[in-house]
Amino acid sequence: MNILIPVTEDKGLKSPVSAHFGSAPIFLIVDTENGSCRAIPNQNLHHGQGMCQPLRAFAGEKVDGVVVGGIGMGALNQLQAASIRVYLSESPTVEATINKFKAGSLPEVTPATACRQHGQESHGPGQHGPCGG
């Protein structure tokens, strides 16, 4: 299974998980069966607030699921409409995130846990829920 995880820098499995899907400069695609990963640039990094196009962000890649530190409603709706499940990670690294994913302990993102607004505030993984600041 190929899982896409937004990260702030490419350090392989030690990469830090980004707090927001749309503003992550890089995505890691991790094969959960063999542990291989590869980095791809976020092709939709520079977008206006609320204008994230998640399918454009990783265009042409086979992705079975997405694990995020945070994601807005628009991006969540688009991913779900494309039948891509979205999970919430509170782990600081890709490795810890994948371990929790494989253990089945990551919750799916719902409208109640998606970010409602995006400002310039800084969030860390696990600081989302209804992200008002």
Q: Which architecture does CATH list for 2-102?
A: 2-Layer Sandwich (3.30)
pLDDT classification of 39: cutoffs 50, 70, 90: very high
The DSSP bridge pattern shows strands 26-31 and 37-41 to be antiparallel
Mean pLDDT of the chain: 81
What residue ranges do the domains of the chain occupy? 2-102
The first and second tokens of residue 31, run together, are 């094969």
Q: What is the pLDDT of residues 60-80, one digit of tens each?
A: 889 999 999 988 888 898 899
Does 34 score more than 80 pLDDT? Answer: yes
Look at the block and give the residue holding tokens 């542990």.
35
